[in-house]
Amino acid sequence: MDRIRIVGGNELRGIIPISGAKNAALPLMIASLLTDDTLTLENVPHLADVEQLIRILGNHGADISVNGRRERQGEGYSRTVHFTSRNIVDTTAPYELVSKMRASFWVIGPLLAREGKARVSLPGGCAIGTRPVDLFIEALAALGAKIEIDGGYVEATAPEGGLIGARYTFPKVSVGATHVMMMAATLARGTTVIGNAAREPEVQDLAKCLNAMGAKISGAGTSTVTIEGVDQLSGARHRVLPDRIETGTYAMAVAMTGGDVVLEGTDAALLDTALEAIRRSGAEITSTESGIRVVRNGGGIKPVDVVTDPFPGFPTDLQAQFMGLMTKSNGISHITETIFENRFMHVQELARLGAKISLSGQTAKIEGVERLRGAPVMATDLRASVSLVIAGLAAEGETTVSRVYHLDRGFERLEEKLTRCGAVVERVSD
Ligand code: EPZ
């Protein structure tokens, strides 16, 4: 199994191109199932999760080509991918495929809306909490679907004549359930109003793409999204928005190691809250013509408290990385996780590098230390694993991160991007 070997101590200097957002690409790819026409997505990152979803969509009958070539031939940075689901050949998403990635459960929305039925295995994904699907079930039931759970599968059937527009207010904000309800409602009869909708930029990006396909969605990016159902959707061409989590991750890496890096092709407006927290820690962040510049020259890292929250709050997907940064602050900071109940698995691994962190319920108390020392550590989930990479870059000596398949799910060419900025990072195979 591959490991990442890091020799810490170097500042980061240079340019890091930011890829298309994984968490936008996945729902956009799934939206292609809503039409028999071709949906072309530009700026699709080359990641294990994207490849896995390509396999899942193929199983439903999607024909997928990359830059005009067949899938799997395309290598390299973010690509243009064409998705055509002329016919849905199978409305079942099997356990073997869905258990590997939670977002694949979201195919339930388009399959149900287009075919009137879907049978989708209960999902898997990063082990960061219980992650139930009750909100999806309630939302689809509100649109008139009959839902049964049988043998580990959710079986959904639309009423005769298709789903029916409805008003539904989520009791809790859910990104995935908002995506699914929005997709399902595009083809429902009548108007749907989603209350307490997720406001994440990825929800806005999906709505923008669906509208380009002929949907009538307004309000995406606010807590109330209105969808007027249409009879059918057509193809479209859409560019996936930049990855705000990748952006924040590299910004935190620079804030931790020191240096001067331009994060190219991204937009500060996607992650204001996180950038503000990084600024307060002592880094300078400015918007440039091509993206964001992050500079930290000398000066210690100041302690900053953060609480994760749905957008526009501090993203849970940057919590582990920010904790990495805080391990070397010159004081005490607190990080509270409010989205997932089990998202502190990086704590014990950061401790192996010399971090001083104690947990009390959903809050971590981090006493900054002057030095971290390299050590072998283990990746436990996607964002936790990259926090270990960041900490390794700022630690003295050698750190090896094992189980890097977690990283490959969400960070395109991580070693290359960091190496180009002066870091010593390499992938080693056993
Ligand atoms: C999305 O997951 C992201 N995944 C996650 O990123 C991200 O951490 C999360 O949103 C929160 O921002 C993708 O976009 C592919 P939720 P999602 O439904 O949609 C609870 C990463 O590292 N909930 O907004 O699965 C749930 O347990 C990943 O890239 C229910 O209770 O998250 C959680 O506590 C990890 N019932 C909260 O809602 C439900 O039916 C928010 O989860 C659904 C969710």
H helix or E strand, kind and range, residue 395: none
Q: Which domain holds residue 61?
A: 22-239
What is the per-residue pLDDT for 69?
54
- pLDDT tens track for 207-239: 999 999 999 999 999 999 999 999 999 999 999
Domain boundary among 199, 223, 239: 239
What is the per-residue pLDDT for 246?
98
What is the per-residue pLDDT for 30?
98
One domain for residues 70 and 181 = yes
Per DSSP, the residues of 91-117 read -EE-HHHHTT-GGGGGGHHHHHHHHSE
One domain for residues 10 and 26 = no
One domain for residues 195 and 254 = no
One domain for residues 169 and 272 = no
- Distance of CA 269 from the midpoint of ligand 1 (Å): 21
Tell me the helix, strand and coil percentages in the chain, rounded to 5.
35, 30, 35
What is the per-residue pLDDT for 342?
82
- Known binding positions: 22-23, 102, 131-135, 172-175, 317, 339
pLDDT mean over 166-181: 98
Poorest-pLDDT segment among 21-25, 86-90, 125-129, 175-179: 125-129
Domain boundary among 239, 264, 282: 239
High-pLDDT (> 70) share of the chain, %: 96
What is the per-residue pLDDT for 70?
52
Q: Which of 49, 168, 173, 174 to mutate to test the pocket of ligand 1 (most atoms within 8 A of CB)?
A: 174
Domain boundary among 183, 206, 239: 239
Its pTM stands at 0.96
One domain for residues 278 and 409 = yes
Please name the residue whose Cα sits nearest to atom 38 of ligand 1: 174
- Distance of CA 175 from the midpoint of ligand 1 (Å): 6
- Distance of CA 347 from the midpoint of ligand 1 (Å): 21
What is the per-residue pLDDT for 130?
58
One domain for residues 136 and 197 = yes
Q: Which of 339, 382, 387, 409 to mutate to test the pocket of ligand 1 (most atoms within 8 A of CB)?
A: 339
pLDDT mean over 377-392: 94
Joined tokens for residue 23: 């968490």
What is the per-residue pLDDT for 75?
47
One domain for residues 339 and 306 = yes
One domain for residues 230 and 251 = no
- pLDDT tens track for 60-99: 999 999 875 554 444 456 799 999 999 999 999 999 988 8
What is the per-residue pLDDT for 112?
98
Please name the residue whose Cα sits nearest to atom 14 of ligand 1: 23
Joined tokens for residue 82: 């064409």
One domain for residues 14 and 26 = no
Cα distance between residue 38 and residue 33, in whole Å: 10
Counting the structural domains of the chain, the total is 2
pLDDT band at 131 (very low <50, low <70, confident <90, very high): low
| Chain mean pLDDT for the chain | 94
Please name the residue whose Cα sits nearest to atom 10 of ligand 1: 175
Residue 126 has pLDDT above 60, yes or no: no
- Distance of CA 10 from the midpoint of ligand 1 (Å): 35
Question: What are the catalytic residues?
Answer: 126
pLDDT mean over 342-349: 93
One domain for residues 233 and 305 = no
One domain for residues 343 and 211 = no
One domain for residues 326 and 232 = no
Specify the CATH number for the domain of residue 276. 3.65.10.10
Which residues, 6 or more positions from 45, have their beta carbon under 8 angstroms from its beta carbon? Answer: 19, 20, 21, 22, 25, 77, 78, 240, 243, 412
